[in-house]
Amino acid sequence: MHFKIEKKTALVMGSSEGIGRGIAESLIAEGVHVALVARNEEKLSAVAKEIGAKKYYATDLSKPGAATRLVENFVRDFGSIDILVTNTGGPARGQFAEITDAQWALDFQNLWMSVVDSLRAALPEMQKRNYGRVILITSSAAKEPIPSLTTSNGFRAGLTGLAKSVSTEYASHGITINTLQPGYINTRRIRENNWSEEKIRSLVPAGRIGEPEDIGALAAFLCSPLASYITGQSIAVDGGKMKSL
Ligand SMILES: NC(=O)c1ccc[n+]([C@@H]2O[C@H](COP(=O)([O-])OP(=O)(O)OC[C@H]3O[C@@H](n4cnc5c(N)ncnc54)[C@H](OP(=O)(O)O)[C@@H]3O)[C@@H](O)[C@H]2O)c1
């Protein structure tokens, strides 16, 4: 594909595997200069070499201030930030009554503040160049809550509103902000469930589980100049799983 984004700079959070890695690979294939982010440095280093990322940052996004420092370091190292993809690991399961204050605080930091902090640090840099592409990875749970993913259901729906709100403030600066809502995507988290082909077919009209590159292809397009008129949108990549309009 040729989306005319070569040489842009991209910080892709949560990207040593799974959906984040799929997005990083799609951007690298388009000639974007990509930095990876995750906690495990050994793995990051191996993946960066394997897929051709320019740099990686070993950072725990569940720590207060980590996302702010991450963006600052990226801008120092790359000179600009054209593309920001926010993503982290998924939260623990739990019914509402089981969730402790500690869990709420952890998930708030991980799923919510890492987005707020990275946006706050990246948007002024994007504004300077009148170009920015931001993608928030949320979940189909933002629209159709998933049983026992209580904190995710709450925070992800909130991120849809946040992205919409912020997108209207920055649209006139050449900056687009969209969220992507993955359905069932073939990553470690999902593989651990050991779902049969039959079960997937019963849940997903497309009849297959999604692959990280299904998300990556759309992300690469949305990060390109070709997608300059698409902002404030939440787009499901779920093989038709969601039933709501
Ligand atoms: N897969 C699906 O079907 C699906 C569907 C809907 C929504 N989602 C959501 O999409 C996101 C990505 O899912 P995934 O399946 O791709 O997950 P994954 O395969 O577990 O990958 C998560 C990535 O984020 C990194 N990470 C995790 N916690 C982090 C932290 N605190 N700080 C920095 N990096 C961190 C991981 O590396 P380290 O462990 O080394 O840090 C890894 O690179 C999750 O929030 C998930 O809930 C996934």
Q: Whose CA is nearest to atom 24 of ligand 1?
A: 14
User: Given the CA of residue 185, which atom of ligand 1 is nearest to it?
Assistant: 3
Number of domains the chain contains? 1
d(CA 159, CA 116): 9
Is 80 buried (19+), middle (13-18) or exposed (0-12) by CB count in 10 A? middle
Residue 128 belongs to some domain of the structure: yes
User: Does residue 28 fall inside a structural domain?
Assistant: yes
The answer to whether position 245 is within a domain reads no
CA of 206 to the centre of ligand 1 (A): 23
Residue 187, in any domain of the structure: yes
Instruction: State the residue range of the domain holding 43.
Output: 9-237
pLDDT digits (tens, 9 = 90+) for 108-152: 999 999 999 999 999 999 999 999 999 999 999 999 999 999 999
Residue 191: is its pLDDT beyond 90? no
Phi, psi of 164 (to 5 degrees): -60, -45
Q: Is the pTM of this model over 0.85?
A: yes
Q: What does the alpha-carbon distance between residue 218 and residue 199 come to, in Å, rounded to a whole number? A: 26
Q: Is 90 exceeded by the pLDDT of residue 1?
A: no
Q: Is residue 19, in this structure, part of any structural domain at all?
A: yes
CATH number, domain containing residue 221: 3.40.50.720
> How many whole angstroms from 12 Cα to the centroid of ligand 1?
12
